[in-house]
Amino acid sequence: MIKPHGSDELNPLFVYDSAENDALQEEAEGLASILVSSATAANAVMLGAGYFNPLTGYMTKADALSVATDMKTSSGLFWPTPVLNLVQDAHNIKAGDRIALKDPNVEGHPVLAVMDVEAVEEFTDDEMALITEKVYRPNNDEAHPGVDAFNAQGKICLSGPIKVLNFSYFQTEFPDTFRTAVEIRNEIAERGWNKIVAFQTRNPMHLAHEELCHMAMDRLGCDGLVIHMLLGKLKPGDIPAPVRDAAIRKMVELYFPPNSAMVTGYGFDMLYAGPREAVLHAVFRQNMGATHFIIGRDHAGVGDHYGAFDAQTIFEEEVPADALEIEIFKADHTAWSKKLNKVVMMSEAPDHEKDDFVLLSGTKVREMLGQGIAPPKEFSRPEVAQILIDYYQSLNKETAPA
């Protein structure tokens, strides 16, 4: 199986030994604590689950700035985005302290992790601006939810190793879907897969997405597909994870052969960092055992901040050839061809005009679903569409006047 990034073996930071976990939980009750941001909590979950291998905790200011500018830590480890614990107020925490990190996303704010603080540093306004410019590459004329979320956390950086005690709400709310990188690697081995392609999604999968996965599997000669959905915080208006999960599972159940696809999810808040986040997603997938990863148009993008294929060209122009072992499957927009009577990559149909494809805007699809109208079968599987119709109509009932 493909090696994890940066090490021969996966080194998740979750404390699996129950006696040690209990002891740390008890110790945490007597430690100084901070209520971390949702982004910091998500970073802890990813560190615990092995997706951030080989990191041992939160980055220092120097590492974060080095990653932002050069995509490598001070020690030379390739890494595409800073992994930080940012706070507004350090509350007298100092280097050498051992502290408890409390979960902002679970009622009662239980302890998520125990941290050994190695440094307490503050970013200047210019340094925060540098990180947002390099990592998020925002179009200054348009709001950017990732930049807003990053800057809202604060400028004080607490760095150091952590031990993770639980997986926040992900394991309890998504018991059938949330999987650690360790668990996915184990299941891949149990299924006997050797060549595995991963598909990232934060949305339900329409027919074009489904067929793209089939194309990638066929062209790469893959044994299996891992559909890996983001279960964390999204932007307002995105479809909730339970609805996406139900729609994707129905699609796999009906339209994929047995033992050919896994439906899984991971606990992380979307950064909307476009090209840099695409590289981070590749790191996740290498750590969970995938040999290939599908990158399509505007991967991890938002609004008009990125070009359609920026998330592909970054692997050619900025990622060193030996930085990652996972290989990228580059995909164009896929759609139903009226001429060929099947889904194709639009770039592979040069004799087509725009009207030769079945193309529907997201706004149009949402309007149809909200009215109880299924999109055409050339766009969405009817069984998947019905799950989405039920969701949108439930929203309409909630907002309807009494």
Q: Cβ neighbours of residue 95 under 8 Å, at least 6 residues apart?
A: 117, 118, 119, 120
Q: Decide if 203 is catalytic.
A: yes
Q: Cβ neighbours of residue 110 under 8 Å, at least 6 residues apart?
A: 102, 103, 166
Q: Decide if 202 is catalytic.
A: yes
Q: Cβ neighbours of residue 360 under 8 Å, at least 6 residues apart?
A: 368, 375, 379
Strand order in the sheet with 196-201: 261-266, 224-230, 196-201, 292-295, 327-330
Catalytic one of 202, 259, 276, 297: 202
Task: Classify strands 261-266 and 334-337 as parallel, antiparallel or unpaired.
Answer: unpaired
Contact 163, 16 (CB under 8 A): no
Residue 114 pairs with which residues in a beta bridge? 100, 163
Catalytic one of 21, 203, 249, 366: 203
Reported in sequence order, the residue ranges of 184-285 that DSSP labels E, i.e. its strands, are 196-201, 224-230, 261-266
C-alpha dihedral sign at 262, 378, 242, 153: positive
Q: Cβ neighbours of residue 118 under 8 Å, at least 6 residues apart?
A: 60, 95, 159, 160, 161
The rounded distance, in Å, linking the Cα atoms of 336 and 324 is 34
Question: For residue 62, with 0-12 CB atoms within 10 Å meaning exposed, 13-18 middle and 19 or more buried, which class applies?
Answer: middle
The rounded distance, in Å, linking the Cα atoms of 54 and 113 is 17
Question: For residue 91, with 0-12 CB atoms within 10 Å meaning exposed, 13-18 middle and 19 or more buried, which class applies?
Answer: exposed
Reported in sequence order, the residue ranges of 195-341 that DSSP labels E, i.e. its strands, are 196-201, 224-230, 261-266, 292-295, 327-330, 334-337
Other beta carbons within 10 angstroms of residue 304's beta carbon come to: 10
Q: Which residues are catalytic?
A: 202-203
